[in-house]
Amino acid sequence: MRAAIFVEPNGPMSVEDVTPTDPGPRDVVVRITASGVCHSDLHVISGALPMPPPAILGHEGAGIVEAVGAEVKGLAVGDRVIGSFIPACGVCWHCLRDESHLCDNTYTVMGSPRAVRADGTPLMTMTGLGTFAEYMTCDEMSLVKIETDVPDAQLALVGCGVTTGVGAALNTAKVQPGDTVAVIGCGGVGQSVIQGARIAGASVIIAVDPVALKREAALGLGATHAVDPGEGDPVEQVKALTGGRGVDYAFEVIGLPATVAQAFDMARSGGAAVAVGVSHFTESITVPSFPLVLSEKRLLGCVYGSAQVRRDFPRLVGFVENGRLDLANMITRTLPLDDINEAFRAMTAGEVVRSVIV
């Protein structure tokens, strides 16, 4: 099969023919129909997320089940599935407490080589998936069956960006009708936070991004205001739009300590900053102590939108089916696997909300 391989830090990916390893008894072989290109893939290439090459990247994908191992109980050949970049085993300590986004098997599923290069080198896969390929072999606990007619490219986005963003609003922050929200960084995840806030009934949704295309997309997807940080201090601009108080929830969707601090400053007294973006693994985030204590501001971490994927993937797809969640307008372009490096260039250049490999 063809797959895009991360071969060297900060270098281009190599699209090559590789040989899948034989699936185990609890594994499932999926024919990938669409795969979104996410900043976390870029973080692996840049070294912000530690993962040694060579590896098949891609963790936001949908597809069709081609084969199942002898012990697979919940999936059958022909099922339509979305890959979950954190598995949901259903039986670990966290899964039993509605915290499958913290599943104890998060790292277990990354431990098996899933293909071999022509020279015999084994290939690991990003988050146990590896969706930048024609096929992926993964553990059953990393897949969620979906019955829907939503197009493949849109379904793929549910695997990471949409679940992370909408979940950040609905699950992590629990935005309530009438709440005020700011979103720093309006790529695929940020646009999903905006849509989640709209679905929750937020009264004010402020999109903060230096790229005009992303601000315009945000206004089309539910933002009520757009702020260009190039036109003055974004904290002051957000406060000016909220009676000087700041917002109930400020989401940081870039992954930089400086913008997390901005989100903290944008939150009102008693409000919260929600850190959604993934920072370099060596970074620390610093917030001022007085507002934390005396203004009772909160700083919330958010992974995978605090989502319970077996509950939330179908819920999100339902929003799409009923016109409540617009994924079509989050997809700026679709490309073939051979153009994967062009997709990464466009993402780095800020030219796209989301590219999807089809």
CB of 302 to Zn ion, least distance (A): 13
Q: Compute how many residues bind Zn ion; rule: CB under 5 A.
A: 7
Query: Residues 27 to 66: which contact Zn ion by CB under 5 A?
Result: 38, 40
Structure tokens at 43: 């973080």
CB of 95 to Zn ion, least distance (A): 3
Catalytic residue among 40, 84, 192, 279: 40
CA 234 to chain centre: 24
How far apart (Å, rounded) are the C-alpha atoms in residues 187 and 219? 13
Q: Which stretch binds Zn ion (CB under 5 A): 8-16, 154-162, 283-291, 344-352?
A: 154-162
CB of 77 to Zn ion, least distance (A): 25
Q: Which is nearer to Zn ion, 13 or 92 (CB)?
A: 92
Number of neighbouring beta carbons within 10 Å of residue 241: 17
Structure tokens at 350: 């800020």
Q: Which is nearer to Zn ion, 160 or 274 (CB)?
A: 160
Q: Does 254 bind Zn ion (CB under 5 A)?
A: no
Positions of E strands within 78-197:
80-83, 115-116, 122-125, 135-139, 143-145, 180-184
Spatial neighbors of 115 by CB under 8 A, at least 6 apart, are 1, 3, 18, 19, 20, 21, 56, 122, 123, 125, 130, 133, 137
Q: Which is nearer to Zn ion, 5 or 347 (CB)?
A: 347
Binds Zn ion by CB under 5 A, chosen from 68, 160, 207, 275: 160
Q: Is 160 a catalytic residue?
A: yes
Q: Is 40 a catalytic residue?
A: yes
Q: Is 284 a catalytic residue?
A: no
Q: Which is nearer to Zn ion, 103 or 207 (CB)?
A: 103
Alpha helices in 241-308 (DSSP H): 257-266, 289-293
Catalytic residue among 89, 92, 95, 160: 160
Give helix then strand counts, H and E, for the chain: 10, 19
Query: Residues 185 to 224: which contact Zn ion by CB under 5 A?
Result: none
Q: CA 250, 254, 256 angle in degrees (round to 5)?
A: 95
Q: Which is nearer to Zn ion, 110 or 204 (CB)?
A: 110
Q: Is 43 a catalytic residue?
A: yes
Q: Which is nearer to Zn ion, 95 or 173 (CB)?
A: 95
Q: Is 38 a catalytic residue?
A: yes
Beta strands 115-116 and 19-20 are: antiparallel
Judge whether 160 and 38 are in contact, CB under 8 Å.
Answer: yes
Element (H, E) at 273: strand 267-275
Query: Residues 65 to 104: which contact Zn ion by CB under 5 A?
Result: 89, 92, 95, 103
Q: Which residues are catalytic?
A: 38, 40, 43, 59, 160
Give the residues lining the site for Zn ion (CB under 5 A).
38, 40, 89, 92, 95, 103, 160
